[in-house]
Amino acid sequence: MNLNVYRTNEKAILIEEYFELYFDKDSIPFKTKIIPVALPSVTYIEKGEHIVTSYLDKFYLKNIVLSGQSLKAYDLEVNEESRSFGFNLHPTALYKIFNSDISKLEDKHTCLKGFCNDTFLFLENIFASNSNSDNAINEAEKRLQSLPLTINIHTKNIDRAIAFIREKNGLLNVTDLLCEISISQKTLETKFKKIVGTTPGKYIKLYRFIKLMQKYESQEIELKELIHMYDYYDESHFAKDFKIFMRMPLKQYFNKEHEMLKKYLQ
């Protein structure tokens, strides 16, 4: 198994990361948990099939796959040689591209062809002609921005909310967002869920959890210090959130090797 992740430049408004994932004959069958990263994604499975099992359903995935916001880890299973690559998108990107209620994609993985055939053909052309990381990132961002994107006062407000959550590393609450953006709580809750795919409260909790896990796997600081730093009351409070997001007990995570998961977090 080989995973490579590349960050996009600050000028990109739709794509945040480009990733490449390979499974050769020596690494299959392969099974791992995938941590939710607070980003939707588009993945081109160039060869092979990926089997994804969430707490809701099982998905057999080929070709171009659209994944909404995931609030819980899911299992990835690969039983044949495979190559895939794609993009993790900005939290508001899917709404801007499709102008539809993104909450319907929460914790779901679907073949893009059945969801929107025009966009499928558009992206298929991008993926087919750009397997090199730099070319794929730059070309895809440029061509996606050429689409008739939905950008209005609501998307701008939610973009500001996302930026503020990131600035604070998830160490805030919905009231803090309301003070920053100056809109009603009902409007924030409704538009955030429609544009991002989940509620602002759930997104904040997930983002805080991800930042803690990234710091831990990068070996920047001890777990006990991180738990205090990220405003968890104690280890049992963190363990409860860990089980919700990761769908496994905290001890089980530390007693096992999770090669792909840890490599991504690092």
Q: What is the CATH number of the domain that holds 207?
A: 1.10.10.60
Q: Name 252's Cβ contacts closer than 8 Å, sequence gap at least 6.
A: none
Query: 7 or 88, which is more confident?
Result: 88
Residues 6+ apart with CB under 8 A from 100: none
- Give yes or no: residues 250 and 168 share one domain: yes
Mention every residue, 6+ apart, whose C-beta is less than 8 A from residue 139: 126, 129, 130
* pLDDT given for residue 123 in this prediction: 84
Taking the whole predicted model, whether its pTM rises above 0.85 is answered as yes
Query: Do 232 and 241 form a contact (C-beta atoms < 8 A)?
Result: yes
Read off the CATH number of the domain in which 104 is found: 2.60.120.10
Mean pLDDT of 152-166: 97
Residues 28, 140, single domain; the answer is yes
**What's the whole-number mean pLDDT along residues 139-159?**
91
Q: Within this chain, do residues 10 and 134 fall inside the same structural domain, yes or no?
A: yes
Q: Report the domain count for the chain.
A: 2
pLDDT in tens, 206-248: 999 999 988 888 776 788 888 888 888 888 888 888 888 988 8
Q: Read off the pLDDT of each residue in 81-105 and give the average, rounded to a whole number.
A: 93
- Domain stop point among 105, 125, 145: 145
Place of tokens 């080989």: 2
Q: What is the DSSP letter of 91?
A: T
Task: Determine the structural domain holding residue 55 and report its residue range.
Answer: 2-145
* 76 beta partners: 32, 52
Do 186 and 248 sit in the same domain of this protein?
A: yes
Element (H, E) at 9: none
Average model confidence (pLDDT) across the chain: 87
Say if residue 89 is in the same domain as residue 131: yes
Whether the bond into 29 is cis, omega within 30 of 0? yes
120, 145, 170 — which closes off a domain?
145
Considering 95, 127, 145, which residue would you say is the last residue of a domain?
Answer: 145
Check residue 160 and give its pLDDT.
96
Range name among 90-94, 125-129, 183-187 with the lowest pLDDT average: 125-129
In percent, the amount of the chain with pLDDT more than 70 equals: 94
Q: Are residues 217 and 189 in the same domain?
A: yes
> Is the CB of residue 79 less than 8 Å from the CB of residue 29?
yes
User: For 12-58, what is each residue's pLDDT tens digit?
Assistant: 789 998 888 888 888 889 888 888 899 999 999 988 899 999 877 89
